[in-house]
Amino acid sequence: MNNNTKINCWLILFVIIFSWGNLYAQVNGSNETLAKKEEVKLPEKGWKKLNTERYPGKQDDITFINETEGWYVNGYGSIYHTKNGGESWEKQLEKKGTFFRSIAFVDSLVGFAGTVGTDYFPNVTDTIPLYETKDGGKTWKPVDYKGPYVKGLCAIDIVKEQYINHGKIDYKIHIYAVGRVGSPANMMVSHDGGLTWASNNMNNDCKMLFDIKMFDKNNGFVCAATDEDIEKSNALILKTSDGGRTWKKVYQSNRPFEGTWKASFPTKKVGYVTIQSYNPDPNVKQQRIAKTTDGGETWNEINLVEDAGSREFGIGFIDENHGFVGTMNTGYETKDGGKTWAKVNLGMACNKIRIYKDANGKTYGYAIGVNVLKGEF
């Protein structure tokens, strides 16, 4: 090999090494850039669908005791439990013939699940209105109560009353449950954390009960309907100041085919309630929400959307202005107290929206309908 040939070979080798070096630098540099982008990328705010067992219809209730541990129920008689914020779920119970409609937990061990009862949905045979667990949902048993027969329970609310117990802060647990869709209207109450229960008949005040919100052991509201025949029914909100012994009407619509469905109170003064319409006339399109700014003494109707197919279900507000409503086909969001609304994906028939704040003020939420969702805000 002569000198010119040797020089040419070295030049070719240099070009190859230089080219591969540039290519490696470009690829490696791109990967580093992507990695940096992934590192600084913030998680998306809003609602995301969780991976749950498929259910063919609307599921009714979900509850969490903190950001990671919670439960939800459905009409297959199933109760599901998560300890990782809904990333995975364990089926704790499947009870054939039972339609679970509501669920609430006092803490990680003590909880209650309400059923819709018989003679409303097909294939439902369970006549027990309320079940309890004392081991975090591993086992469930019927709740004993004194008073009139309760056919079904659509909502449960828990109030923790703080007091001083032998020099330490402690809590008295008050539990309220109401129902049902299709009538009759009954309430169950416990003032000792679920150890003993009493029932009250509320048919003189309303004919159907769908939701309850108690601020303390005495003051609260129920969502109701004036008649068990939906063709004759007006939407109704009742208020109590004596723990449910007596009720007064604070809102009633003047249209048939209506009932108030779910409530959300971001503050004690400001509250929102969905008005559910079953009017079969396709020309009746306006969907409405009831709003109070004086602690529920008076209520005004605000428009949600003009769409006959957007029957309302769940509602949840982060603060006085920012909230969400689930409807038959989608969801809606407002950031100005209901003056304007924009579509948001909450899946179909989002029936319950629960908004929580942790000790550090972080806001998060869970929602359930056909899908189960988690919200970060």
For 246, the token pair is 């007596």
Task: Identify the CA nearest to 106 among candidates 210, 222, 194.
Answer: 194
Gap between the Cα atoms of 295 and 304, Å rounded: 21
The residue count of the chain comes to 377
Do 144 and 116 touch, CB atoms closer than 8 A?
Answer: no
pLDDT tens digits for 46-55? 999 999 999 9
Phi-psi label, residue 205: left if phi above 0, alpha if psi -120 to 50, beta otherwise: alpha
pLDDT score, position 346: 97
pLDDT of 5 higher than 80: no
Q: Which helix or strand (DSSP H or E) is residue 3 part of?
A: helix 3-40
Work out whether strand 220-225 and strand 363-368 pair parallel, antiparallel, or are unpaired.
Answer: unpaired
pLDDT at 1 > cutoff 70: no
Residue-wise pLDDT tens digits, 281-321: 999 999 999 999 999 999 999 999 999 999 999 999 999 99
pLDDT value, residue 44: 58
- Token pair 């803490």: residue: 107
pLDDT band of residue 358 (cuts 50, 70, 90) is confident
Neighbours of 217 (CB within 10 A): 18
Separation CA 329–CA 45 (nearest Å): 22
H-run or E-run covering 287: strand 286-292
Any idea where the domains of the chain sit in the sequence? 1-41, 47-376
Q: How far apart are CA 145 and CA 135, in angstroms?
A: 21
For the cut 90, the answer to whether the pLDDT of residue 202 exceeds it is: yes
Average pLDDT on 260-278 reads 98
User: Mean pLDDT score of the chain, rounded to an integer?
Assistant: 90
Query: How confident is residue 372, by pLDDT bands cut at 50, 70 and 90?
Result: very high
Q: Give ∠ CA 245-316-188 in degrees, rounded to 5.
A: 25
Cβ atoms within 10 A of the Cβ of 183, count? 20
| Residue partners of 11: CB distance under 8 A and separation at least 6 | none
CA–CA distance, 340 with 333 (Å, rounded to integer): 8
Question: Region 217-238: what's the mean pLDDT?
Answer: 98
pLDDT value, residue 45: 79
Query: Would you give the distance in Å from CA 178 to the centre of its chain?
Result: 17
Q: What is the pTM of this model?
A: 0.88
What's the rounded Cα separation, in Å, for the pair 275 and 226? 13
pLDDT at 38 over 70: no
Q: What CATH number matches the domain at 47-376, 2.20.25.90, 1.10.600.10, 3.40.50.1820, 2.130.10.10?
A: 2.130.10.10
The pLDDT of 189-211, averaged and rounded, is: 98
Instruction: Please check the confidence at residue 35 and state whether its pLDDT lies above 90.
Output: no
